Structure 1
Amino acid sequence: MIVSALLTSVGINLGICILFFTLYSILRKQPETVHVYSPRLVAEGKSQLRNRFNLERLLPSAGWVRRAWQTSEEDLLSTSGLDAVVLMRVFIFSLRIFSFAGIVGIFILLPVNYLGNQLSLIDFSDLPNKSLDIFSISNVDNGSKRLWIHFSAVYAFSGVVCYLLYYEYKYISSKRISYFYSSKPQPHQFTLLVRGIPLSAGNSFSESVKSFFTEYHSSAYLSHMVVRQTNKLQKLIWDAKMLYKTLVNLKSKNPTQKKFTRDGFLGLFGRNVDLVDHYEKKLEDLEENVRMEQLGLSLTGEEVPAAFVSFKSRYGAAIALHIQQSINPTEWITEQAPEPHDVFWPFFSASFMQRWVSRLVVFVACFVLTVLFLIPVVFVQGLANLPQLEAFLPFLKGILSITFVSQVITGYLPSLILQLFLKMVPPIMKILSSIQGSISNSEIEISAGKKVLWFTVWNIFFANVLSGSAFYQFSIILEPKFIPQKLAVAVPAQLLNVYELKFETGGKFWPIVHNSTIFSLILMHILAVGIFGLKKLPLASSLCIPLPVLTLLFNEYCRKRFLPIFTAYPAECLIKKDREDQNNAAMTDFLDKLVTAYRDPSLMPMQHSSDVEGYNTPLLHSREV
């Protein structure tokens, strides 16, 4: 890619960014779109809808940017919880790293690279038509003493990143403890999911659970809720919800206009009936089927060898969680329960064999998706390399000779195409994660996020870099011993796309960010070893070898020092919190509600048909968490 193509891409992206900021600034002030841009404020009654025309509504403003940056952590914590605070810390951490790397790269490394003579002589008059390679380390002469500046930058950057990682890990850990102390009692803090329940002769799973925990955890055991097979019931409820939405949409379009259909096969045969009446009758029938199925499951429903077991204290639940319950480690398996509204109930309808096969299918599907994605990656790299594109598609030579067209194709189009393809990856990964046996929606989000992360690393980083010369050097890629050398040459030269992952983790996603950064540091160290070796500076290459070792030792220290806080709260915190709750009069009411907190929502009463008339419901409903 040449400099002018890069500048064209920057200009296009900057223009689009300004356009979006302008549109957002205007649309967020319109009464018609306030439910879209401020639904939470509308639900909480903090947004005043003014329909009176005001010229100021049609003018863009930047005040919302200033207000967004001025929001304190305390305000964010009180309104959005610890998740939002940790996400904000990720942004701050990333900006600090980017600022340091940007200053060093622009004001130190870039001039050093450009003043090199490895690739071509310097010609400032023709700078826009220069290849970006002249700004990379590839342009520094082999064996040059200037390479020691790059060596120092590698050590300095590694030290700064490790310091920032330690600071953020320590800061977020303290925030997590403080947030726990200030939080109200939550059902998942007192509840475990128990699986592998053995079935004794003459007893149900429910009786076995009660007998076991009454005998071995008598002082702490409170209640349990055995999971039942509800896959058929869930299908009926889903059909009822879809029919209800169809009916609401039908009425919202034109409530007074009559719509007719035939009540026979596919609406092609039978007598003409009013469509609204037909759907309302069908919805009533579905609701009756749901009630009958719920009644049958409550009385004689098939039980699953899994149960949510609740305890009277957090400490009692923690003891049961961390102690092996049975001589046979495959029985009475305990794990922390998710929040009640976070439980992914379809998981419990699958057998052990189904879950095992699903995980195998998901692994194969992820591998196939990664391989197939090489096709757009190779195509994008071909667009970024104009000579390769002309050689591969000679009939485009005339069009590509137009300066602006070539700059757009090589500078902007590859990134746009890659972004469009990448938009499909997170939803696919979420679908795959939902069928591999996760017990909660947040666990599905975490699993999908990790899949997208590794997909990005392997397919966008490695494949994107290695396929830059795939049109004429594909054979060398297949030889593993040449891959470090290939990376060392290619990374400083075509440009890397950086994608920031955003997903909910219940405040526990900082270790993922930490581990990803450690992986990136080690990868940088390996590349540095390869680069200095290729640039005929073996001493610098050898002196970079301790860096990944030191980084791994630092990571191990952080794992021992901070990671346990993100997996489970220590006994010190649990006991202090339990003692505080002993003097809380609301704990009695909380424990009473805890008994039914983990009841399968598909067993709850539902009534859509009587609510069809009130189809104009608000976008958001405030609820107490």
Structure 2
Amino acid sequence: MNISALLTSAGINIAVCVVLLFLYSILRKQPSNFSLYFGRKLAKVNPTRDHHVRLQRFVPSPSWIVKAWEISEAEILATAGVDAVVFLRIVVFSLRIFAVAAFVGIFLVLPVNYYGQEIHHHKHIPRESLEVFSIGNVKQGSKWFWAHCLALYITSLTACLLLYFEYKSIAAMRLEHIRTSPPNPGHFSVLVRAIPWKPDESYSDTVKKFFTKYHGSSYLGHQMVYHRGTIQKLMAETEKVCKMLRSNNVGHGKNMVQSALPAGPSGTLRILSSEPESIKRKPPFPDVRTASSVKEVAAAFVFFKTRYAADVAAKVLLSANPMSWVTNYAPEPHDVYWRNLSIRYRLLWLRKIASLVAVIVFMFLFLIPVTFVQGLTQLDQLHHTFPFLRGLFKKKYMSQLVTGYLPSVILLLFLYAVPPTMMLLAVIEGCISRTGKKKSACRKVLYFLIWNVFFVNVLSGSVISQIDALSSLKEMPTQLARAIPTQATFFMTYVLTSGWASLSSELMQPMLLIWNVFRRGVLRQKDDLCAVSFPYHTEVPKLLLFGFIGFTFSVLAPLILPLLLVYFFLGYLVYRNQILNVYITKYESGGQLWPTVHNTTVFSLVFMQIISLFVFGLKQSKTAWVFMIPLVIFTLLFNEYCRQRFHPIFKNTPAELLIEMDQEDEKSEKIEAFHQNLELAYCQITLKSPDPQKSADLSHPIPSDKDLEDSTASNPPALAQQNPTEN
């Protein structure tokens, strides 16, 4: 591929980005789209409709860019929580490190690559092949490889320094978040599974006897987990009642509750209560006949008087049999993934193995579209395989389109199926929380992208032209060293297509926009606020993949670095806008994704250094080869230090912090009332009275664009009252 083909791809993607950004700045002003582009703010703003048709609604404006740029990190922390701040820290870290790498690469490495051999260069730069800008253009044994070594040292040491300060800052932020957060049911609760079955007593009695005997001084109570089938019926019937209550005034609410809920032994749900206060004081199944029809499972949430007692119970081995009385930290109430709590603990290891096998099979099945995509980048091979296409490919614009744009677009379309598949496999794996499910899916998507998007593309692209090169696994590092610099052109177009254009698509939300138009125009349905949580399992792997690509090619083909800088800068604006306006914070993990980010970044650094080692070996530069070994050792030692220094903070909460918080609770008079409501927090089915201010749908007046822009973001939405649907 030459420069003109890359410019063609860049021009297409720039045009797509500009069009989508203009459309977004107009569509976000239309009242019919407020539920789509301002979901988080509508969850807490008292709506008022602007009936006037104003010209400014149809004029593009950069107001969203200014708002996203001006918002401070403290405001984002108060609005969206620690996880959102940590995600944006990934973008900021990438901007900083690749700004340094781009400066070094463009002004130091790129001239060395371009003039690495005494060859005749084209007078017109667009006609130059992109390979002359890569390390492959440097002749063997060149004395100029010191420039590449220096660039590697500068990039690696800067990355390690930034990683250290980020890890330290985020660890402190996590501890401060725990210290300043109000009493949370998850801090006083432990999830117990694999409860032994005794024929003469129920699971509930077994739990009560066990913890009264061994944790009597701190044991407060427990809440059993019930079979999902029964609970699903209860939730479905409750949802029907809530919908009926929304469509009528509050004054008839009590009578509707009593008339809508089934009664008697055959009904799945008796009348809980017609008064909200009585609901708060009663267990989830107050009626004996109803309770007898609900099947308990061998799992329960056990509550303790102090955070420290719950922490100790979650860490220690409760029984001589490690397969019984298994404890975990209890997720926050809104974070619990109830479906998987009914899974037998003894089957979890089988589910994890099945999930792993399914991921491997899916990764190998994905080789088919990847090989096809790489075939499009090999124009000579296409001429040989499909002779009837030669006439078509003789046209300059067609060859540039096929080699420079089409492969990355096709790969991007296939990749849309990956996150939902990995999320399904995370559910099969048996995750007990929604954050755990997203973390598991995030890791699976990350491994999948690094393997299929990078390694398979590199190897398949090389195998197409060098089928006999892979004689054994011993040749794999050498083959990678030969193939990676030659595949830099594909990844440049991939950054343009999957990076720039996908960020514009994230702003537009095209699928939701189409559904919104269809629902309102064809189905004639009213707006229904449905704010979703941030898709960390798709966006974090995407950022880390681009970071991995950037580190790998930082000295091999530094021309990719400016493209990555544009991507991360655009992502900085887009993601801040989405976090402020669109996505709602439903649950908080306290920044637990950062260790995955840190480990992936260190892996990227080590991989960059090792590939450079093999490239230097192929180029017969022994001095550069020896000079790189201390850098690899230093990076590994740095990672081990961070693992010992910071990682335990993300796995456990310090005991001294928990004890200090417990001591502060002893001075508070509200802690006893909090203890009384612990059981209610982990009910699988609850019934709340409707609140006209909270449950007002969007058929009521909706705010103007100015109202939404000016609304403060200092208070997060009332999650327990809004109860938005899960993304």
Give the TM bin, normalised by the shorter chain: 0.7 to 0.9
**Contact 2:227/2:296 (CA < 8 Å) preserved in 1?**
yes
Alpha-carbon distance in 1 for matches of 2:363, 2:98: 28
Alpha-carbon distance in 1 for matches of 2:140, 2:310: 63
Q: Which amino acid aligns with 2:269?
A: R
Distance 1:587 1:162, change over 3 A: same
**Contact 1:31/1:51 (CA < 8 Å) preserved in 2?**
no
Distance 1:512 1:541, change over 3 A: same
Q: Deviations over 1:86-106 (max 9, x none)?
A: 111111011112211211222
Alignment of 1:5-16 (within 5 A): 5-16=5-16
**Contact 1:165/1:514 (CA < 8 Å) preserved in 2?**
yes
User: Displacement, 1:68?
Assistant: 0.4
**Contact 1:23/1:60 (CA < 8 Å) preserved in 2?**
yes
Q: Which residue of 1 aligns with 2:654?
A: 570
Higher mean C-alpha displacement, 614-623 vs 400-409: 614-623
Alignment of 1:191-230 (within 5 A): 191-200=189-198, 202-230=200-228
**Contact 1:3/1:130 (CA < 8 Å) preserved in 2?**
yes
TM-align CA RMSD: 3.1
User: Displacement, 1:314?
Assistant: 0.7
SS at match of 1:307: strand
SS at match of 2:53: coil
**Contact 2:299/2:342 (CA < 8 Å) preserved in 1?**
no
SS at match of 1:291: coil
User: Displacement, 1:183?
Assistant: 1.0
Alpha-carbon distance in 2 for matches of 1:111, 1:243: 70
Alpha-carbon distance in 1 for matches of 2:445, 2:315: 31
Structure 1 gap segments, 5+ residues each: 252-280
Distance 1:380 1:244, change over 3 A: farther
SS at match of 2:340: helix
Q: Which residue of 2 aligns with 1:257?
A: none
Whether 2:410 is the aligned partner of 1:398: answer no
SS at match of 2:466: helix
**Contact 1:117/1:141 (CA < 8 Å) preserved in 2?**
yes
User: Displacement, 1:360?
Assistant: 3.0
Identity of aligned residues (%): 43
**Contact 2:376/2:407 (CA < 8 Å) preserved in 1?**
yes
SS at match of 1:188: helix
TM-score normalised to the size of structure 2? 0.75
Q: Deviations over 1:495-529 (max 9, x none)?
A: 33467852687221011100110111111111011
Q: Which residue of 2 aligns with 1:166?
A: 164
User: Displacement, 1:70?
Assistant: 1.2
Q: Which residue of 2 aligns with 1:317?
A: 310
Q: Which amino acid aligns with 1:138?
A: G
Alpha-carbon distance in 1 for matches of 2:25, 2:203: 58
Alpha-carbon distance in 2 for matches of 1:168, 1:600: 38
State which of 259, 269, 275 in structure 2 corresponds to 1:291: 269
Whether 2:333 is the aligned partner of 1:340: answer yes
Q: Which residue of 2 aligns with 1:61?
A: 61
Distance 1:137 1:443, change over 3 A: same
SS at match of 1:502: helix
Alignment of 1:67-146 (within 5 A): 67-117=67-117, 121-146=119-144
Distance 1:307 1:488, change over 3 A: same
Alpha-carbon distance in 2 for matches of 1:557, 1:316: 30
Q: Deviations over 1:25-51 (max 9, x none)?
A: 111112222221112223322775423
Distance 1:77 1:616, change over 3 A: closer
Q: Which residue of 2 aligns with 1:458?
A: 451
Alpha-carbon distance in 1 for matches of 2:333, 2:699: 25
SS at match of 2:680: coil
Alpha-carbon distance in 1 for matches of 2:369, 2:50: 48
User: Displacement, 1:381?
Assistant: 1.2
Higher mean C-alpha displacement, 92-101 vs 227-236: 227-236
Q: Deviations over 1:449-508 (max 9, x none)?
A: 100000011111110111112224334336211111111122222233467852687221
Alpha-carbon distance in 2 for matches of 1:615, 1:76: 26
SS at match of 2:303: strand
Alpha-carbon distance in 2 for matches of 1:505, 1:138: 47
Alignment of 1:19-58 (within 5 A): 19-45=19-45, 49-58=49-58
Q: Which amino acid aligns with 1:366?
A: V
Q: Which residue of 2 aligns with 1:536?
A: 620
Alpha-carbon distance in 1 for matches of 2:315, 2:189: 13
**Contact 1:384/1:494 (CA < 8 Å) preserved in 2?**
no
Give the paired residue count.
584
User: Displacement, 1:237?
Assistant: 4.8
Alpha-carbon distance in 2 for matches of 1:581, 1:151: 56
Whether 2:486 is the aligned partner of 1:493: answer yes
Alpha-carbon distance in 1 for matches of 2:240, 2:442: 28
Structure 2 gap segments, 5+ residues each: 248-258, 272-284, 500-537, 541-586, 704-715, 721-727
User: Displacement, 1:283?
Assistant: 11
Whether 2:707 is the aligned partner of 1:623: answer no
Q: Which amino acid aligns with 1:564?
A: P
User: Displacement, 1:157?
Assistant: 1.0
Alpha-carbon distance in 1 for matches of 2:618, 2:439: 39
**Contact 1:220/1:316 (CA < 8 Å) preserved in 2?**
yes
**Contact 1:376/1:418 (CA < 8 Å) preserved in 2?**
yes
Q: Which amino acid aligns with 2:108?
A: I
